[in-house]
Structure 1
């Protein structure tokens, strides 16, 4: 599959007057985070990481940059204009060499990541614009200026369009440069420029938060439908040649046992859990976050890594639901301290942790007693 250079412009510069929350709409709280943060989490979950541009009110740029770095890791923030169209135009200045541009309204905060992927894939396959839409359920009447019914519109011919709307970058740039009127969505400008735009299947969760009722609906959905993700992590350490080093396993010291080699304390249980949690939350892996070149973690115990990864997840809007670990090795005899280990790690993560141990019947690295391995599976929820 060909990889295309993607850019996503998240439009979050609206005042939100109809919402009546006393703040720009994108910065109104929703389920413990802001509306904008929820929208950015959806972008962060895309199959192909895009270049991210966020357009916000001028006095919110610094704040937004911190949010982008926390949720996505990298992205650009720019001040918007007096209209949505002016804000998108500002964002287009930062798309760089992108082939495909998706424009998304932050107010559609619960839009699934899969919808972003669907739109991007449709643009890549057709070379033309793609807009998500859902069927219109209500009967639609055309009325006169005085309110009298003139005709019934065939709803089979209608779609309620959503965002993100995706386009080839060249088409979108040219359409904005040639724009002679204000429109309510980008597809209209593309159509004005003579390019076709297709409807792809939308998603009911991509509704727009405009009024206080919409906000209550989003709150209710978040309470009843938590977003969960699963991550898997592994770690392996060999026993150290220097038998003076103590053994640390599952954040416990094991007196009388030979220690494990590593940049830190070599605790494979703690390290596998960290990798699983980072993977589940889409925050990288233990090698990039806690690199061996970082002197702060030289000799650090597993509890340090677990406390830090819990902090990272909570700042990114995730909580740990539970963790399961399989420890593989001939020694130490784990069963005698199983409950103590589970209790210690559970307290560090604020979530249930189960740890089981097995051998490999004398086979392989662990079976020969050369080291210990661990495999962790983590469930996180937003």
Structure 2
């Protein structure tokens, strides 16, 4: 499975992946999922929000056990973030079948749509829509960097954009969701543990900051006559780093666009996207407020307007304690409990379904980059652990 998946969406120049939602690469990934489902005699379906499901047994019976993750990537992302969870889900189902144990609950494998939000800017779009955390009208109006609206991209992929929206009936059929994911850090490195168990996801979110100035000639406009939004943006980047360090939190400007984009022109507008994560909601709110205030104050000095737009925010998620305990017991060996600042579909689903997470050791801690890696032995240990978890949940 892994070998068949590896070439899809890979950029030869970087070795990273560009598996953006509703592109040709994404369509190929979706076909791969369908093929794996069909090969196992699983019933495949795509829900109203574009999430893919593969079922053993009838989900209408309720109390289903579901595992999986996502297949899309960030720009030039690694091979493991998301796909490892989907491949491991199918492999764990194979392992469970090989044990010959009778199964008393429906089993499902899921690949959630547009988890990374790399194209349209909202992370975990598929699971947010399903749980009612993303307004379908707002979702349909989202646009990518080329101005293509989400509704048009969906229609081009055969998904009815008017069908987007909450899916409480489907979620009510799920009794437990367990997501396996590569560790996005180095907590397990240097330990005897190949697998850890998720404990909490920090609250986090994305904000867009628009800095408005005045376009002018780079070679003739005096410094004192400029209203340069790039200066205000640069100040804000540095302020965000300082404020985050003082708060024990994380703040990142990972995307920026300047208009009109001429090398020899003072920009009229700079748009930057801010990602913030903190141990608790109070710290997160305080961090974002401090960054916005600093930007506004500097903007006043520079003659630049500053507008802040919240694009998505996810509250802290503490995984279901009973399910987490069962998962830890099935992993065995007293696995470490791992908090994380990374968001996941499991965190979004936790508002409606008992959820838990397994993390597979990442020896370097690199993630969202081509160097992301997990050793094969650790990946197989993750599959074995997930198999035992499914057995504990679905077998009498």
Q: TM-score range by the shorter chain?
A: under 0.3
TM-score with structure 1 setting the length: 0.24
Kindly name which structure, 1 or 2, has the bigger radius of gyration based on alpha carbons. 1
TM-score with structure 2 setting the length: 0.24
